[in-house]
Structure 1
């Protein structure tokens, strides 16, 4: 396993293949300082997969799109590249980001007072060795029985248009989530306990990723 936290050694370079500000903030709060490289993949190529397979599949696509073009993207040598994606499962259907405001309103009318499962896929590639870890996490989310005015006001903020399932737990949407069963960070977009396990499976030290 590579070095633990040592002030005389640089942290292992870490790349986030996602444009999600929530994922970036979560990783930074956990001590990492990721380089963000947006993958730009066509997510529609995996349409039709079950939610539990779709999230890891999209994460793998994003990770590969960045890691396979390490030189083109100017990645630091030996970087770990993380791809993530999330979908909300409701009535067996995979719900990603809403296509527009009307879609977000319809989503909330269907979700309110009910529960869904937030699936989050994680794919981690060690560019030094080519080894990859692909794993998924799932957390049950319970939604408040919000009224029409609250739905309209929330959608009008624009926040739910940019996130899987049309909700956040760490933003304005947090007041409309009555509880979760599982890892809170999975709902935000990246499960820190799962990511630590993946880092260690690739023979790296989690504390070796901490910025100095």
Structure 2
């Protein structure tokens, strides 16, 4: 189960051989605080995965077999400040004026929860539930788009749908000079980190291939 509405995360997992069912968590990101941008990404991932797991645990007719819930959330750290999705076109434009020529860090929190076969649902969790959290961080070096390019990019609407107001795998990729670290993490889900987290819970990555 993927607790995210992000089409980029879903397509990344599908390209890697997984085919998760999507259950949108419904967690509101506004008003959540943490000690650092990286911690914020992890906290949001935990909340999203937890909301989906609680919904599944509350189901009086749970699905047969072990269920894996994956929750992710990304934030861009720039000068120590965390930026999620821009709230408006003007915010996206202002963000890009800050970002151009700068270096930031894209943090993606990952929360994996494993629900046992036929787990009874109380909505509060049970002892057999296993979970782990990890955060991937990738350095992003931005190009210097002109004001005209920024306005045109914001007008596409893409920046309003993604953390930090940019993509690596979409129209915004032309405005990123390079990344240092896992590029999948910038897209929204780190495949190497996810594989490691699953292995820690006794789940083999290759067993999840469809």
Higher relative contact order (CA 8 A, sep 6+): 1
Equivalence for 1:36: 22
Which of 64, 67, 82 is the aligned partner of 1:94? 82
Q: CA deviation at 1:56?
A: 0.4
**3-state DSSP of counterpart to 2:27:** coil
- Mapped to 2, the partners of 1:202 and 1:112 lie a distance apart of 40
Equivalence for 2:124: none
Equivalence for 1:111: 99
Equivalence for 1:57: 43
Gaps of 5+ in 1: 1-14
Gaps of 5+ in 2: 117-127
Range that drifts further, 32-41 or 62-71:
62-71
Question: Is contact 2:34-2:43 (8 Å) kept?
Answer: no
Show CA shifts across 1:136-179 (max 9, x none).
01000000011100000000000000000000000000000000
Q: CA deviation at 1:42?
A: 2.2
- Mapped to 2, the partners of 1:82 and 1:168 lie a distance apart of 21
Structure 1 residue 70 and structure 2 residue 56: aligned?
yes
- Mapped to 1, the partners of 2:96 and 2:68 lie a distance apart of 37
Q: Paired residues, what number?
A: 197
Equivalence for 2:4: 18
TM-score (normalised: structure 1): 0.90
> Any runs of at least 4 consecutive aligned residues in structure 1 with deviations exceeding 4 A, and if so which?
71-75
- Mapped to 1, the partners of 2:208 and 2:58 lie a distance apart of 23
Equivalence for 2:193: 194
Structure 1 residue 149 and structure 2 residue 148: aligned?
yes
